[in-house]
Structure 1
Amino acid sequence: MNIIEYQQNTTIQYCFPHNNLSCRKEVRAGSASVVVFFFLSCVSVFTVFLNLLVIISISHFKQLHTPTNLLILSLAVADLLVGLFVMPLRIMEIIDSCWYLGKTVCTLFPVIDYVTVSASVDSLVLIAVDRYIAVNDPLLYSTRITVCKTSLFIIIAWSWSVFYNVMLLYFNNHLLHSQISAGCYGECVLVMKYSWVMVDFVITFIGPCVIILILYSVIFKVARHQAKAVRTVRNGATNKHVDKVSSSSETKAAKTLAIVIFLYLACWIPFTVGPLLVKDIVRSSLVVNLVTWFMYINSTINPLIYAIFYPWFKTSVKYIVTCQVFESSSSSFSVFPKHL
């Protein structure tokens, strides 16, 4: 029985059995594969759902049409595309090693993948810059940062993402059908040159990481300085109460910034540092696909950090879930707590 079972388990299968040039098929069966498929599918659905709520909220309610929220909207759009298009195809690659969607989709998929993830990172950087200006120069913030200027920066960020990633794929011979290395039928492989891996490592990870760390560290220092100034100015009977409020604000700011930085690094380090150990990066390998999911999960976490903890989000979600957004005057509804 053991020999028969072994022979059954090692039966050679092909992606396209009736094609002589078909690739061999890696069948990943068993309870572990089912658990992985279910978990990643839930992550994909959750990513789409959360970011869609953010997009509807900011787009629909007029009170939310602010520069900061436009940046959050840009982030949500990028993360929505990751959950809607990128994650499902990556799940398919993990469960089944074959590529069934043809050369055209094989050529376009890395473009969508790289551009959306890059735009998400660029949006995180812009949000850090926006918060830095708001905290460092609050009196002039409203005049320096407007909706038009923010929209322009968002367009520039997305344009840069498209340009850079198209160039990256072009110089790695993956932009045209004729450039893609010939292999068996049912294969979609992207091989990155080591020199370009290093360039991409600096541009997509080191650069944004340094900017985010510096800006958020400055934001925290300014917040602490402002809290100390409040404690110095306020004296008398209410001094102890003010000290508690200031201390609470410092603690909350520290926790928020720590969460932002930790989750960003936790999601990106496995993807960016791991491939540096290998000189030929084959994007279709199971190990690389699994490591890549750490980066994709950042698109699930982003709306949790940048939107769900905002007071207006709970109110807007309530309007959306109860279908009150379909009322004619719903765009003018107040989404901020009355005590603010």
Structure 2
Amino acid sequence: MDNIEYRQNITTQYCFPGNNASCRKEVRGGHVYIVLFIVLSCISVCTVILNLLVIISISHFKQLHTPTNLLILSLAVADFLVGLFVMPMKILQLLDSCWYLGKLACALTKLINGILLLASLFNLVFIAVDRYIAISDPMLYSTRVTPLKMSLSIIMGWSFCLVYVLVFMYFNNHLYPAQMYTTCYGECVVFVKFSWTIANMVVFFLTPCSSILILYSLIFNVARWQAKAVRSVKNSHVHGAKISNSSETKAAKTLGIIIFFYLAFWIPFYISSLTVTGLTTLSILWTVFTWLMAINSFVNPMIYAIFYPWFRASAKYILTCRICESSSSELSLYREH
């Protein structure tokens, strides 16, 4: 009975009826796909809105112009573009198997998709390094990590992602439209060679994620040692240090939660990619796990909203249009301190 219902919900047509080389089109209907479309569309819209709030907050309020927040801004920009560009394209491909925009647009779509997803990981690596320096050497942090140095690091990270994705697409025959292999007209498929699957796992998963986990283990060890040292001394000077260390530790824990969710969304994709000799965007595994990676862009600002008081305060100012007032950029977002 389920098979009969499934066949009724999928009607086979052709992407370009007037072209003999046209791909067969699967137009998916039924209540399941309608609900799926609504849910994924809501996730896409919320991803755009929440990350836009983060971008406006850090860009507008001078109190938030810190090196760490520049990294959060960079991460929010990547997540914002994922919600604005990547998610809608995935929703359309989920509902309609055809590609109507040609090979050039297909190549550009895959290029942008790869850059945005990988830029998120690079930002998380820089965040881990930044938190380690802040915790291990707080007295020299302001001199070692400046907004200018952080901006240059962010630019270098995005540039590396761009170069790597270009090289990846070139060697997998997806950089130039003439190189792209298609079985029929109206297809936009990325076939990843197994050798490049291994390379991706090493360059953009094992190496950076191992670095992140090592850095955060060091961060929490240093934070634990500092907490013991603070508790052993009872004077006003150290009490002030206690507040500072507590703030740094809380920030590290919050960003650690972001790392945890990132790994939880990315690990299934890389584990599954090793079980096949080649991974293609037509596979169900690719669809499910790339959606998990994209949904991570929705989770990040939710974590900010839960754990960062400055985000809740700035969002309130933005939604009530108080940022339109003169000198609104000078408003304090840390009144509880």
TM-score of the pair, normalised by structure 2:
0.90
The one-letter code of the counterpart of 2:45 is V
- Separation of aligned partners in 2, 1:309 and 1:179: 47
Distance in 2 between the 1:18 and 1:257 partners? Answer: 53
Q: Please give the residue correspondences for 1:123-202 in structure 2 after superposition, counting only pairs within 5 Å.
A: 123-202=123-202
Q: Within 1, Cα distance between the matches of 2:10 and 2:109?
A: 31
User: In the superposition, relative to structure 1, how do residues 328 and 257 fare at CA in structure 2: closer, same or farther (>3 Å)?
Assistant: closer
Name stretches of at least 5 consecutive residues in structure 2 with no aligned partner: none
Shift in Å, 1:299: 1.1
Alignment correspondent of 2:332: 334
The within-5 A match list for 1:231-242 is 231-234=231-234
Residues 1:31 and 2:31 aligned together? yes
- Contact kept? 1:119, 1:161, Cα under 8 Å: yes
Distance 1:281 1:62, change over 3 A: same
Inter-CA distance 155–252: structure 2 relative to 1 (3 Å threshold): closer
User: 1: distance between equivalents of 2:218 and 2:6?
Assistant: 61
* Partner of residue 297 from structure 1, selected from 295, 298, 303: 295
Per the alignment, do residues 332 and 7 of structure 1 end up closer, same or farther by CA in structure 2, a change over 3 Å counting? closer
CA contact (8 A) 1:94 1:286 kept: no
RMSD: 2.7
What letter matches 2:270 in structure 1?
T
* 2:227 aligned residue: 227
Over residues 193-213 of structure 1, what are the superposed CA-to-partner deviations in whole Å (9 max), with x where a residue is unaligned?
100010001111111210110
SS of match in other structure, 2:26: coil
Give the CA deviation at 1:260: 3.3
Q: 1:231 to 1:11 in 2, by over 3 A?
A: closer
Conservation of the 8 A alpha-carbon contact between 1:132 and 1:216: yes
* Percent of aligned positions that are identical: 61
Q: Deviations over 1:238-288 (max 9, x none)?
A: 9xx9xxx9xx99996896466334312211011111111111211133331
State the match for 1:85 in structure 2.
85
Structure 1: unaligned runs, 5 residues or longer: none
Q: C-alpha distance in 2, partners of 1:8/1:313?
A: 47
Give the deviation of 1:18 after TM superposition: 2.1
Residue 274 of structure 2 aligns to a residue in which SS?
Answer: helix
Question: What amino acid is the match of 1:152?
Answer: L
Which residue is equivalent to 1:208?
208
Using a 3 Å threshold, how does the CA distance of structure 1 residues 86 and 10 change in structure 2: closer, same or farther? Answer: closer
| Count of residues in Structure 1 that have an aligned counterpart in Structure 2 | 330
1:271 has 2:266 as partner: no
- 1:317 has 2:321 as partner: no
Q: Does 1:283 align with 2:281?
A: yes
For 1:65 and 1:249, the matched residues in 2 are separated by 17
